[in-house]
Every structure is written in C-alpha cells, then in structure tokens.
Homo-oligomer: A and B are copies of this chain.
C-alpha cells in the first residue's frame, strides 16, 4: 500500500511516493504558483495524476504552509501563499479518486520524524523548524496536537522579549524574530560588516558579492570559524529560552530541531540543550528532555503528509 505525499511551499511543490515504512521514491519538484492560488489545486492534481499513472496508490496526503481549520479541509490563512479561506482539500478531492487529507506542513514534518526519524522511539515530542521563520509542531501520547481551531503548535510565536523585535504576525518579540534562519543570517551579515576580528572569516567568504549567503555561513560553520559558531550559540541560546517555556506547557520527552540551520547538527542542538537547561523551571526536580537534529531533511513534509493520509484511511 503506497501513498502520495505532497508538500506545498512558497517557492516549490514537492511530490513523491511513500511506502508504509516511510521510504520515498519518485520525488518530483515543480515551481509553486504561489502568486496564483487558483492554479495551485490544478498543479497539485496534475502531480497526483502523474504519480497514479504508473503506481497503485491508496491515499494522498497534502502538507501546506498555513493555518488549516479544525475540519482540515480549508486553509484559513497562509502568509506565503496568498490564501484566505481556501477550500484546498475539497478542490483537490473532487478530482482525485482516492482519499485526500490536508495537514499543516510543520505538523506533517514532525509526524514523519515521529514515525520514521529522530523521534521514532518517543511518545511525546515537539519540533522546532528553523527556516525563514520558526515553525513548530506538537505530538503528545502519539497524537498530533492541532488545537481547538486547528492552529496549535505555532511555537515560533511565543513571546521571548517583551516590546522586542517586530514580527510579521503583528506582535513584537516572538521567538522567530530571534531564533529563525532569517535572524541568524541577519546576525551573520552584521558580524561580517563589523570591524572586529570575529567577523574576519565571514567577511572573506562574503567578499565575492559583498553580501553573505546562507551557504557561505554554513561553510564558515563547517570550517569551525569562531565568529560563526558564536552566532550559532547565540541562536541556540534564544531557542533554548523559548524551549524552556514550551516545556513548562508541554513537557515533551524530546525536541527535534529541523530546517536548514539544523544541518549544523550538535553545533546547534547542544547550545539549545544547555540554554533550555539553564532556563528550565524547577530544574533538578523533573526529568529532562533531549534535543536532537531532524533526520529526514526536506522530504519530511511529504513523508508525514502521506503517512497521515494512510493512518486516517485505516481508522
């Protein structure tokens, strides 16, 4: 029994065939028609039909970046995809012969890590996805916690700093303004344009076009550059502060860290872990979680979406 997983992002749509063991094959990526929401369902249906042509498929799971309603048939709002009250699942289901399910992309990725990746031995986890923003997802006792209206797990929007940095959500001081890949790159660029010795290597790497890229910062980290590593520790410190509050609420066994920056592995997860410990309420009087990097990379969203659609069809 195979399922199709689809991951709709702001720049591309990824589709693939997913086995019951979470193995992916035939992954295909196409540009996301983000500016034309009406084209989105069409593009997704075409990807599904192409995969169905040569494969026996039982269910389809779709992950999308956005607020999904509690019935999970509608995207209430998506900042990157220009949707308001878009009945995406209904539109796609009308044109597809097998059951279709819709899930928030961060939830889908966390589900994949929970079933097949870094958290497969845990019952309760949170996931932080460090990318353009800070995405989040929650699993408790083996169940995704989606919240009463479907918008739970927006862990990047707990407040870290009162009257802090302006956030795209309309508030100030949200965790994602301090702990995202965007915030990290901004800090690296600032260090690179400073005069101090800590920015030397970053300055060199940026010299060709003048503006530091994410790949160049990754290179500095890989090389063990002191300046880049200090920024990574600062990033981890912010994320650990947020994690400590999240643990007060959810007390998970494990925190899985995904997204682009998580390829730094322990260079990121260790600073998060130690900051979490330093900020943990009632430290010493309670069990402590582990912090680990995600394993499934960019395919996590489509793997999780496919697995959720399969699980639901078996209910």
Nearest chain B residue, comparing its CB with the CB of A242: B159
Bound Cα distance A171, B283 (Å): 9
Number of copies of this chain in the oligomer? 2
Q: Is B124 a contact partner of A170 (Cβ separation < 8 A)?
A: no
- Within 8 Å CB of A145, what residues of B? 140, 145, 250
For A66-77 the 0/1 string (1 means CB < 8 A from B) is: 010000000011
Q: Is B251 a contact partner of A286 (Cβ separation < 8 A)?
A: no
Bound Cα distance A160, B250 (Å): 17
Bound Cα distance A279, B174 (Å): 11
Q: Is A249 a contact partner of B153 (Cβ separation < 8 A)?
A: yes
Interface centre among A122, A150, A157 (most CB of B within 10 A): A157
- Within 8 Å CB of A196, what residues of B? none
With A152-B250, A281-B170 as contacts: A286 and B77 at CB distance below 8 Å = yes
Bound Cα distance A246, B154 (Å): 10
Q: Is A252 a contact partner of B283 (Cβ separation < 8 A)?
A: no
Interface-facing stretch out of A34-42, A161-169, A217-225, A306-314: A161-169
Q: Is A281 a contact partner of B154 (Cβ separation < 8 A)?
A: yes
Of B125, B143, B249, the residue contacting A250 (CB under 8 A) is B249
- Expressed in whole angstroms, the minimum distance between the Cβ of A279 and any Cβ of chain B is 6
With A249-B249, A286-B67 as contacts: A281 and B148 at CB distance below 8 Å = no
Nearest chain B residue, comparing its CB with the CB of A161: B162
Bound Cα distance A286, B153 (Å): 14
In the complex, A86 has a CB within 8 A of chain B:
no
- Within 8 Å CB of A138, what residues of B? 249
With A158-B158, A174-B281, A281-B174 as contacts: A151 and B77 at CB distance below 8 Å = no
Which residues 210-236 in A have Cβ within 8 Å of B in the complex? none
Bound Cα distance A253, B70 (Å): 11
- Within 8 Å CB of A284, what residues of B? 170
Q: Is A124 a contact partner of B140 (Cβ separation < 8 A)?
A: no
Of B141, B158, B279, B285, the residue contacting A171 (CB under 8 A) is B279
- Within 8 Å CB of A245, what residues of B? 157-159, 245
The 10 sampled A-B contact pairs (Cβ below 8 Å) are A76-B285, A77-B286, A140-B148, A147-B250, A147-B252, A152-B249, A154-B249, A155-B249, A159-B245, A159-B279
